[in-house]
Amino acid sequence: MSITTLGQFVIEKQQDFSYAKGELSRLLRDIGIASKIISREVNKAGLTQILGEHGSVNVQGEDVKKLDIIGNETFIWALEKGGEVCAMASEENDDMVLLEGKFSKHGKYVVCIDPLDGSSNIDVNVSIGTIFSIYRRISEPGTEANLQDVLQAGNRLVAAGYVVYGTSTMLVYSTGKGVNGFTLDPSIGEFCLSHPDIKTPADGKVYSLNEGNAGEFSEGLNNYLAWVKGTDKATSRPYTARYIGSMVADFHRNLLKGGVFIYPPTAKSPNGKLRLLFECIPMSFIAEQAGGIATTGTMRVLDVEPTEIHQRVPVIMGSANMVKKVQEFM
């Protein structure tokens, strides 16, 4: 048999970490379990009336969909059962969540999640995702976790990854030693290694951003857009626009094929839209681990020191040469 499941892979890799006592492996297993449950819910969402608005509004002032809540609760459940995590920060909760499992207080890790990314695509059967990141706690195990535990810069990450619920469900993660991708085989209910050691191309064709906001972009970014489109010259350029509106799906395509993903500052939102802890840090970590670049435009995303849980930052990430080109214009 030539398949390697996520569980087998994680155990094999445990020896890469001399300090590892198996907690991180168990935590990654728990995240895999939560992801499979969310994948199941996503796949039958059209049948079970969990599409649509939930009627409440999340802390960002956006409508919360039912699947967002299911995703959030599934993660809390899995992490409380596992007991490796003392606290969690989630896009769906105003404040840090202290986990209440039997062993949670002694957990060495904290987790930040965007349980459901791309919620505007849920109702229309378009790819959505989950994003997660794992840090070692700063406070003493056994004590109550505090805000400092979740407000850590990306350069302190232990692991991060995402799940994309697309034509298949895929989990992609890194512990800082490269990036590996696993595809869910529904017939055996396991994530199987399908994309070992992912490296993103240094160049690509795809640029991904919401051009509907162009009226609010900086002059530099609009000049870049004119450049990629070739409207500054008679000759056309080899670039193509792709934008799904689910960061996970847009990022995943660009990671594999080469491309640049941009969520820039706009006149209305000078820090862009995407959240530092839940979206930008974990995806930047994966981008870098695959050989790409991720910047806010002024600094490396992973070096930003978070000051609040729901902080937003602009982001330009993906193929190294494409990111550099955007920066030249900006």
Question: Is residue 252 part of the contact set for ligand AHG (CB under 6 A)?
Answer: no
Q: Could you say which of 32, 82, 107, 118 contacts ligand AHG (CB under 6 A)?
A: 118
The smaller minimum CB distance to ligand AHG, of residues 274 and 302, is found at 274
The smaller minimum CB distance to ligand AHG, of residues 117 and 190, is found at 117
Q: Choosing among ligand AHG, Mn ion, none, which partner's interface includes residue 281 (Cβ < 5 to 8 Å by kind)?
A: none
- Per CB under 6 A, contacts with ligand AHG among 208-247 are 210, 245-247
Binding mask 79-108 for Mn ion (x = CB under 5 A): ------------x-----------------
Candidates 78-86, 96-104, 111-119, 169-177 — which segment interacts with ligand AHG by CB under 6 A? 111-119
Binding mask 109-148 for Mn ion (x = CB under 5 A): -----x-xx-------------------------------
Question: Is residue 250 part of the contact set for Mn ion (CB under 5 A)?
Answer: no
Q: Could you say which of 84, 117, 149, 288 contacts ligand AHG (CB under 6 A)?
A: 117
3-class SS string, the chain? CCCCEHHHHHHHHHHHCCCCCCHHHHHHHHHHHHHHHHHHHHHCCCCCCCCCEEEEECCCCCEEEHHHHHHHHHHHHHHHHHCCEEEEEECCCCCCEECCCCCHHHCCEEEEEEEEECHHHHHHCCCEEEEEEEEECCCCCCCCCCHHHHCCCHHHCCEEEEEEECCCEEEEEECCCCCEEEEEECCCCEEEEEECCCCCCCCCCEEECCHHHHHHCCHHHHHHHHHHHCCCCCCCCCCEECCCCCHHHHHHHHHHHCEEEEECCCCCCCCCCCEHHHHHHHHHHHHHHCCCEEECCCCEHHHCCCCCCCCECCEEEECHHHHHHHHHHC
Candidates 22-30, 34-42, 100-108, 114-122 — which segment interacts with ligand AHG by CB under 6 A? 114-122
Binding mask 44-73 for ligand AHG (x = CB under 6 A): ------------------x-----------
Query: Residue 214 Cβ, how far from ligand AHG at the closest point, in Å?
Result: 12
Residues at the interface with ligand AHG (CB under 6 A):
62, 91, 114, 117-119, 210, 245-247, 273
